[in-house]
Amino acid sequence: MTGQTDGTTMTQATKGRVLLSVTGFNPQRWHELLSVRREVVLEPQAPSDPSIHYAVVWKQKPNVLANLPNLKAVFSIGAGVDHLFSDPGLPDVPIVRVVADNLSQHMTEYVCWRVLDHHRQGLLYRQQQKRRLWREPAQPAADAVSVGIMGLGNLGRAAARALIALGFRVNGWSRTGTAMDGVACFGGKQGLEPFLRATDMLVVLLPLTPATTGVVNFELLSKLRRDNPLGGAVLINAGRGRLQKDADIARALDEGILKEASLDVFETEPLPKTSPLWSHERVFVTPHAAATSDPAHLAGPMLDQMEACDRGETLGNLVDRAAGY
């Protein structure tokens, strides 16, 4: 039960209900955890169901939110919100996205894992092991390698801090070019080329918006620094698949523009079985698994925010609709 400011008491039954609208995974755990404090439904009773005050969504069915008259806010189950904006019936209510230490920690692990594997020549050692070869290649120092992070937001900054602690030189590119200690920061269109020219290993942690769609293309990859101690440029994308052109990455690898790539996201997901990226010997594929939202960490803070909203307080972690992230 939750006390209200007007002295009445809100019970589970009198609080607005939560619509949980998810495609692509089983929402059972989210259902259990959100139901602890609110009634949760998987479908509105009618398109204009007045009992629904909040929606918790991941790739919701198009138009399911369009006509709910008492909807106060939509909560994205992920940090990214492109899945919401692709719905033509998205209503004009506040959108809250995931910003959580637990998610940043997972993404930092993924980024450090992939950066270190490329840096410490994991691919070469796996090939040598298959051939029972006992050979030690030259090992560049971390401070001889520049990792450039495209998208220096919550996840990019957390990864940058860990990479700095590991000894890498870190560059960051963002829309505004906001400064960060220990990172050479570049901003906007004019900052992109100098950022790329100073980067040996590119980590993409951008949101997908109209401005970023397809940005990781052949032309961009051609500007990365190839003459470096790693013996070539490396791409790591854990942002969104439609930031990149899959075919351009394959071409860049085959033409020696890229040495290796680690890809967690793809233009089409699941990655079609026919994609040449699956079998490319210099590509490391993971199935959009770099940082998965954990309901055990996220459902409680979402319910807290719903209660704050009911009390008339401002919501946190709001999406800027004009910017698209």
Least Å distance, CB 187 to ligand OXD, is 23
Quick check: is 240 catalytic? yes
310 CB-contact burial (10 Å; exposed 0-12 / middle 13-18 / buried 19+): middle
Measured distance CA(87)–CA(300) in Å, rounded:
26
List the single partner that 283 binds among ligand NDP, ligand OXD, none, CB under 5 to 8 Å by kind. Answer: none
List the single partner that 171 binds among ligand NDP, ligand OXD, none, CB under 5 to 8 Å by kind. Answer: none
Least Å distance, CB 158 to ligand NDP, is 8
What is the DSSP annotation of 182-233?
TEEEEEHHHHHHHHHHT-SEEEE-----TTTTT-BSHHHHHTS--SSTTSSE
List the single partner that 60 binds among ligand OXD, ligand NDP, none, CB under 5 to 8 Å by kind. Answer: none
Residue number of the CB closest to ligand OXD reads 78
Least Å distance, CB 235 to ligand OXD, is 18
List the single partner that 159 binds among ligand NDP, ligand OXD, none, CB under 5 to 8 Å by kind. Answer: none
- The pair of structure tokens assigned to 302 is 């979402």
Query: Active-site residue among 31, 119, 240, 242?
Result: 240
Looking at beta carbons only, is 168 or 325 nearer to ligand NDP?
325
List the single partner that 183 binds among ligand NDP, ligand OXD, none, CB under 5 to 8 Å by kind. Answer: none
Residue number of the CB closest to ligand NDP reads 153
Looking at beta carbons only, is 27 or 80 nearer to ligand OXD?
80
Quick check: is 126 catalytic? no
List the single partner that 176 binds among ligand OXD, ligand NDP, none, CB under 5 to 8 Å by kind. Answer: ligand NDP
Sign of CA dihedral 108, 113, 119, 120: positive
Looking at beta carbons only, is 282 or 288 nearer to ligand NDP?
288
Least Å distance, CB 153 to ligand OXD, is 11
C-alpha closest to that of 288 among 30, 76, 78, 81: 78
Query: Active-site residue among 120, 288, 297, 321?
Result: 288
Q: H helices within the chain, ranges in order? A: 28-34, 82-85, 101-119, 122-130, 154-165, 188-197, 218-222, 246-254, 295-310
The residue ranges that bind ligand NDP (CB under 6 A) are 78-80, 107, 151-156, 174-176, 178, 205-209, 211-212, 238-240, 264-265, 288, 290-291, 325
Least Å distance, CB 78 to ligand OXD, is 3
194-198 LR contacts (CB < 8 Å, sep 24+): 195/148, 195/150, 195/171, 196/148, 196/220, 196/223, 196/224, 196/225, 197/223, 197/224, 197/225, 198/146, 198/148, 198/171, 198/225
Sign of CA dihedral 103, 24, 149, 82: negative
What number of other Cβ atoms are within 10 A of residue 217's Cβ? 16
The residue ranges that bind ligand OXD (CB under 6 A) are 78-80, 98, 291, 293
Least Å distance, CB 216 to ligand NDP, is 12
Q: Bridge partners of 106? A: none
**Residues taking part in catalysis:** 240, 288
